[in-house]
Amino acid sequence: MKMCLFFSLIALACSAAGQERSKLKSKIQVLVSADENIQSEITSFIDRELRELGDVTIVDDKPNWEIRILALEPQFQDGRRAPGLSISVVILYHYNNDLAYDTLFDERHAQLAKEMTRGLVLCADHKLLIAPAGELKQACQKIVAVFDSEHLDKVRKGVEKAIKALEEQTKK
């Protein structure tokens, strides 16, 4: 797993080396399952918070990351609805190491590596939140803040480190 993540960082660094670092963006897909009355609200809040990060593009397909959210209104055993929401958040990371494989391996080995890792997805995180009634926006802000600090920041730092290493190699 660490090796695949390493190759992903190399791929990002290779692609970033040819473009401005500020333009390197993570592609994120947001999938929300909830009652109709709150599904669009959650999607809107999450999308807005992600766009605020600046280095994120929200996509419908071929993401680097997926944020999958299931939100339910809890019910008591007698059927009465409890106030607030139970929110399950699953973070998936999609490996796409094609550029790294093409850069690091000969054509035959690169093709073999691509075939072995095609469709590889890592469940990077799973959290369960309880959002009190009326605090859906704050819960969505927290979801994105945690995703940013626990996942995107690590990728940013890894890419910067890999870019510096590549720049040092090219200077030699």
> Among positive and negative, which fits the CA dihedral 22, 157, 101, 169?
positive
pLDDT in tens, 27-79: 999 999 999 889 999 999 999 999 999 999 999 998 999 999 999 988 888 98
Of 31, 91, 19, 79, the residue nearest 55 (C-alpha) = 19
DSSP state letter for 104: H
Question: pTM of the prediction?
Answer: 0.77
pLDDT digit string (tens) for 110-127?
Answer: 888 878 877 888 899 999
Contact 151, 67 (CB under 8 A): no
Helix (H, G, I), strand (E, B) or coil at 147: helix
Domain ranges for the chain, please list them: 26-94+118-163
CATH class of the 26-94+118-163 domain in this structure: alpha beta
Return d(Cα 71, Cα 85) in angstroms, integer: 6
* Dist CA 159 CA 165 (whole Å): 10
